[in-house]
Each structure stands twice: as C-alpha cells, then as structure tokens.
Amino acid sequence: MTPVRPGPESAVRVRTATSEDLDAVMACEEQAFTHGWSRASWAEEIADHHVAVACAPEVVAVVAMSRVLDTAELLRVIVAPDRRRGGVGRTLVEHGVAWAASHQATEVFLEVSADNEAALRLYEACGFVHQYRRRDYYSPGDDALVMRRAVPGASSVPLNPEEDTCQTP
Ligand SMILES: CC(C)(COP(=O)(O)OP(=O)(O)OC[C@H]1O[C@@H](n2cnc3c(N)ncnc32)[C@H](O)[C@@H]1OP(=O)(O)O)[C@@H](O)C(=O)NCCC(=O)NCCS
C-alpha cells in the first residue's frame, strides 16, 4: 500500500528545547532506539549544546547540535514514527545547519550508521556528502559513515536561538 503523506496540516513549529521538553524528547528517543541516549545525556545536551524540537503543537521531533569553533556537529535527529516522510526531518536538519551558520560554523559533520537507510537518504537530500567510513564503530559489523556539509555565508544567516520560526511547507 502506498503510504499517505501528511498534508499541509502537518506543519510544525521549531523552537529551542528546554528541560521541560525532556519527557517528550525521551519519548522520541525510546521510539527510535533501544539502546539510545539516556535522559541524563539529553538533559546535558539541552543544557550545554543546542537542542531544538518540532511541535505540532506537541513535540513530534528533535535535533541536537554542537559546535566547537568553526565546526558544528549534527548529533541526533529523530522524528516520531507517525510523522515520518512528511518533511519534518529535513526541516530539523536545515534548522541545525542554519543554527550552525548563525554561530559562525563553516561546516557541519555528522556520523550515521551505514545501515540506517532513512537517515542516509535524509542527509544526502540535505546536501551532506560522504567523507569516510569508521569500521565497527557502533559494534562489530556496524560501521559509521562520516558526512559533511559546508555552510556557505556562515555568519550572514540570522537565527534567534530562543524563538526559531522554521516551518514545514
Ligand atoms: C531519519 C529520520 C529522522 C527521517 O525523518 P523524516 O521526517 O521521515 O524525513 P523527511 O520526511 O524530512 O525526508 C526528507 C528526505 O529524506 C529521504 N528519506 C527520509 N526517510 C526515508 C526513507 N525511509 N527511505 C528513503 N528515503 C528517505 C527522502 O529523500 C526524503 O525526501 P522525500 O520524502 O521528498 O523523498 C526518521 O526516519 C527517524 O527519526 N528515524 C529514526 C531515528 C534515526 O535513525 N535518526 C538518524 C540518526 S540519529
């Protein structure tokens, strides 16, 4: 059966996450990964790095970014299973790249399991290019692919980290 794509009513609002979003973020995490990040890890990301959530109006997706000097890293992006293939993942990846640009990063790196077809296709669709493979990175036989996207015009992209306003089409 052909999957039904969400319509315009599926538009989401993206905003910076706070500790009050932890329950919802953990719900996303647990729906996506069996041995994923702990609540403490997410709390640390929210406190120390940049975590954004997509809301519709409840939290339906999350992205985590970090930056050191001019290099940003996309650490995680998760979309709730019933909201996938509606453009939300792409919206959050683009948000992450815009956040990196507004923080003077000139490139964004990420690593992804070579077996994660959906994530690989998403990152390619967002302009990330494969750099190299880390063999057995996650576990024996589970390689990581490192991908990179340049961020042209880094400092010229305005983005208020407290109140972001990207929306899915
Ligand atoms: C990977 C993930 C975030 C994608 O989110 P999404 O909202 O479904 O992605 P989008 O709808 O924005 O897709 C954008 C593009 O990515 C590609 N894509 C996304 N999911 C795909 C899939 N399952 N198969 C093939 N291509 C896919 C397509 O090119 C798509 O564009 P199109 O729909 O116009 O064809 C989602 O599947 C997910 O949460 N997976 C579990 C968590 C995870 O593995 N995260 C990545 C590692 S941290």
Mind listing the pLDDT tens digit for each residue in 60-97? 999 999 999 999 999 999 999 999 999 999 999 999 99
pLDDT band for position 143 (cuts 50, 70, 90): very high
Identify the pLDDT of residue 154.
64
Query: Rounded to the nearest whole angstrom, what is the distance from the C-alpha of residue 92 to the centroid of ligand 1?
Result: 11
Ligand 1 within 6 A of 85 CB? yes
3-state secondary structure (DSSP) of residue 103: coil
Q: Is the pLDDT of residue 162 over 90?
A: no
Domain ranges across the chain: 11-156
Single-letter amino acid code for the residue at 136: D
- Give the C-alpha separation, 162 to 53, whole Å: 12
Nearest CA to ligand 1 atom 20: 118
The class (CATH top level) of 11-156 is alpha beta
**Is the pLDDT at 9 greater than 90, yes or no?**
no
Residues 6+ apart with CB under 8 A from 134: 111, 143, 144, 145, 146
Distance of CA 157 to the CA centre of its chain: 18
Q: Give dist(CA 139, CA 13) in Å, integer.
A: 36
Mutation probe of ligand 1 site: the residue of 5, 37, 90 with most atoms within 8 A of C-beta: 90
- Is pLDDT above 80 for 165? no
State yes or no: pLDDT of 1 exceeds 50.
no
